[in-house]
Structure 1
């Protein structure tokens, strides 16, 4: 991803397909729905069949509008205007003040690290204040500025004091580049109350771990321990290895190979040290961890992974090691692939490299899209296959949002969905109106739907795409990783099929179809090829 300048213009357009209120309420609690002939609740021996809730008065004018035509053009103008939501709201004085305060604090933190350990600068890693691009965690790389300990709010000081134990870590990857990471653990987690685990992998270039605090905090609050980290070549990790091996877009393999290394580190213990710490032999004077310091509070039998952009390609690969016909699990801590569930923020890819929706969705010229797919498929991706339950998000617009002149292929977001479905592996794909590639990495000054319209409580509240993306992210992991008695276990399915709630079908894309095909815990099949088209029957 690159930083781009965008020209803002005033747009007055009619609403279509959902409420345009930027400070919309967070999604409402789910409502369990039973079929009319379902067994009564006082007969627990027979599972109750769950059916999706049905939105009332869902505005489908945009779904039905013909193109070209004034109705479709009006819908597209309204939809495209949402890509400017984040940019327009961030000019407010409270946001700018907090944003600049956190930028200065993060830059100071980088300076202090360099003073305490000059090897971060004086080495072959090519680390400088400007390389990798987001080494400072400043300006857009700050992410949500209200999610730091310095922020006086519920997602800032309140979160760090009362909800989570947060530990910065440094560990080597397989080629001895230092990776900067953070371990986040709910305060209630303990050796006798271990919690399930999640590893998050960033998108490429200008997407440090700070851009995903929105997801990290939500998952910690839902009862997960989370490892975030900067892949090699990004953020505060080494720009390259001691032997000059590259990272980031110059070497996309770090998004699946480095992810396997991060999983190994997360699962390391005092009795089973992280192998690369020993193999790299303290090649730098940096205090590198031999094992995860929070190991005793984690339930290593339950692991989910999530990734964005190139990180989404990474999770597609990593979940599929060990599947029939795929390469074996390459990690060093486990014999078999330990991943149980996966989420791709913008989007899953198939074993042939397809699935990044369409050229029009990515806002790429068709020849460039073809070159990109060719690069992915020609010997770069290892052999993998659908293996575990997967949720795939897509965005209406790509890196450089531009309005559609003609409707895109409505099934453009379902390419990987169909591959997972054909393999009989649970899958869910969905996207939301007006969202861009940057609705998943919340970077100030980048085009995205509203994600910080209200800061009156010293936190970014409300928004358009973020609340919905968060809701489904947590619900999907709850469906596959939680066990009976844990918060989120009982109603995970209801949350996933509550199409009538605010932020569900009412905000889903009318350009692309959202769909699901997975079994709920009651044994029912939740299958729908077009959620906005209605799945109640």
Structure 2
């Protein structure tokens, strides 16, 4: 089965703020090169280069003159603010990269002007079930706002979204791009740092103690790795606990406040500051069992594994989005089961970028692959389970994407130029269907995309994309969507040979 993709052309239209991403003529599918041939190696070399597009691509970090000055200013401001917050809470130590490495939590500095111009944001603090202080931000539409794409007036109450970060010291600032994109389209979104990451506390506070305490000799709680709950931070239990506690905080009101266990001596919030905007009603949807709240959970990396499990056991959740990767019985354990509609956005590469002959194994742990990439490697990570269960699901693999596609990190780590845009537009369409019940399957499958991205000086510029040329030539993208009278299904959306 041929794999060639159309060549991407970039044209920046002077004075319009409009970046067009189009396609030239497609190569004949019969000309698909054999693995190892000069044409195949050339294409793979270009794919590897494009995996650094966020840094050096057209309009990328190094080619936008507004980026570096904004990074210096916002990186400094973020680090100073976090330092002052930590000094004010000496009994709640956050011994994390986010608190010790300047600029770690800054995200995309070009987005600093979003709050107050395109939407609202409020910093919050609450404890998890172990008493560790978690810090986060709630994002919401601006008063009287209109949808920036359609011009439609946004009218609440709005569905809710919780975004759980990835592991290896992922922080909420790295996911502000998606929170802002959703909030300005009519969602109330909570981003937060799990215990031991970003600006959140490292240690638990058992039995309501003011000072953190760990007993490494104690019997671990179910799912925990040690007798010190939440320590080490690199364990799936932290992300599952964080997701469920964040859901509880998102839905908390002054009349029904969040419990904040173990919060003695800490300054915490009792309720979501935008609780009046949140739709907490239970909705009978044809896509989910029972009556569920209009709430989605989104996770990346170990956070994706966590939300893949939480969707099966938490009846507040109406849909789930997993960013590299959607869980499966193999990866998530025998008790895992698909329950609600699931969107998976998955990546070609892991933390580093490797050539075609090292694409075996997983994206995180490459192994030799003399025959080239296995097209079904990504499909088998989760979509198959949802498909077999007959539940609406979709999986896209952006071309040249890496595991860091979904984290805004300055300058040093690989990510493609357009993977974040494809992800955001697809998530917006997915939540429109499964939380707002707008648009049918055809809206999700529409190839043409419009995306607004910050370009500096408080300006957001429109990008027009064609989705399919920006999907992987190596790995399967797929969907299974129930229409009114039939099921739409394609296990090989881009024809890579699944």
Interval of TM-score (by shorter of Structure 1 and Structure 2): 0.7 to 0.9
The 1:97–1:413 alpha-carbon spacing in structure 2 relative to 1, beyond 3 Å, is same
**Corresponding residue for residue 408 of structure 1:** 373
* 5+ long unaligned stretches in structure 2: 146-153, 205-211, 215-227, 281-292, 358-369, 450-464
**Corresponding residue for residue 476 of structure 1:** 430
Equivalent in 271, 284, 290 of residue 291 of structure 1 = 271
User: Is the Cα–Cα contact under 8 Å of residues 410 and 513 in structure 1 kept in the other structure?
Assistant: yes
The 1:197–1:60 alpha-carbon spacing in structure 2 relative to 1, beyond 3 Å, is farther
CA drift at 1:205: 2.5
Equivalent in 120, 123, 141 of residue 165 of structure 1 = 120
The 1:20–1:447 alpha-carbon spacing in structure 2 relative to 1, beyond 3 Å, is farther
Q: Please, which moves more after superposition, 55-64 or 474-483?
A: 55-64
User: Is the Cα–Cα contact under 8 Å of residues 110 and 136 in structure 1 kept in the other structure?
Assistant: no
**Corresponding residue for residue 497 of structure 1:** 445
Equivalent in 200, 213, 223 of residue 243 of structure 1 = 213
Query: Deviation digits for residues 402-448 of structure 1, max 9, x if unmatched?
Result: 11224211011111111111011111011111111111112113433
* 5+ long unaligned stretches in structure 1: 1-14, 29-54, 122-126, 149-155, 322-328, 330-336, 355-376, 451-462, 484-488
User: Is the Cα–Cα contact under 8 Å of residues 78 and 105 in structure 2 kept in the other structure?
Assistant: no
Distance in 2 of aligned mates of 1:202 and 1:62: 42
Distance in 2 of aligned mates of 1:62 and 1:206: 45
Q: Could you say which structure has the higher strand fraction?
A: 2
Which aligned segments of 4 or more residues in structure 1 are displaced greater than 6 angstroms? 22-28, 189-192
Distance in 2 of aligned mates of 1:307 and 1:260: 12
CA drift at 1:101: 1.1
**Corresponding residue for residue 418 of structure 2:** 464
* 1:447 matches 2:413: yes
TM superposition score normalised by structure 1: 0.72
The 1:390–1:310 alpha-carbon spacing in structure 2 relative to 1, beyond 3 Å, is same
**Corresponding residue for residue 326 of structure 1:** none
Q: Residues 26-425 of structure 1 correspond to what in structure 2 (within 5 A)?
A: 57-59=25-27, 64-88=32-56, 89-92=60-63, 93-121=65-93, 127=94, 131-135=95-99, 138-148=102-112, 156=113, 159-188=114-143, 193-241=156-204, 242-244=212-214, 245=228, 246-247=230-231, 249-275=233-259, 277=260, 279-280=261-262, 282-283=263-264, 285-300=265-280, 301-321=293-313, 329=314, 337-353=315-331, 377=333, 383-405=335-357, 406=370, 407-415=372-380, 416-425=382-391
* 1:532 matches 2:498: no
User: Is the Cα–Cα contact under 8 Å of residues 140 and 183 in structure 2 kept in the other structure?
Assistant: yes
The 1:251–1:449 alpha-carbon spacing in structure 2 relative to 1, beyond 3 Å, is closer
Distance in 2 of aligned mates of 1:342 and 1:313: 11
The 1:192–1:90 alpha-carbon spacing in structure 2 relative to 1, beyond 3 Å, is closer
Query: Deviation digits for residues 476-499 of structure 1, max 9, x if unmatched?
Result: 11110114xxxxx24x63332123
User: Is the Cα–Cα contact under 8 Å of residues 164 and 242 in structure 2 kept in the other structure?
Assistant: no
Q: Which has the higher contact order (CA 8 A, sep 6+)?
A: 1
CA drift at 1:23: 6.3
The 1:480–1:257 alpha-carbon spacing in structure 2 relative to 1, beyond 3 Å, is same
User: Is the Cα–Cα contact under 8 Å of residues 195 and 233 in structure 2 kept in the other structure?
Assistant: no
Find the residue that maps to 1:21 and give its secondary structure.
strand
CA drift at 1:60: 6.2
Find the residue that maps to 1:238 and give its secondary structure.
coil
CA drift at 1:261: 0.8
Distance in 1 of aligned mates of 2:118 and 2:385: 39
Find the residue that maps to 1:198 and give its secondary structure.
strand
CA drift at 1:164: 1.8
The 1:294–1:397 alpha-carbon spacing in structure 2 relative to 1, beyond 3 Å, is same
Find the residue that maps to 1:134 and give its secondary structure.
helix
User: Is the Cα–Cα contact under 8 Å of residues 252 and 258 in structure 2 kept in the other structure?
Assistant: yes
- Residues paired across the two proteins, number: 416
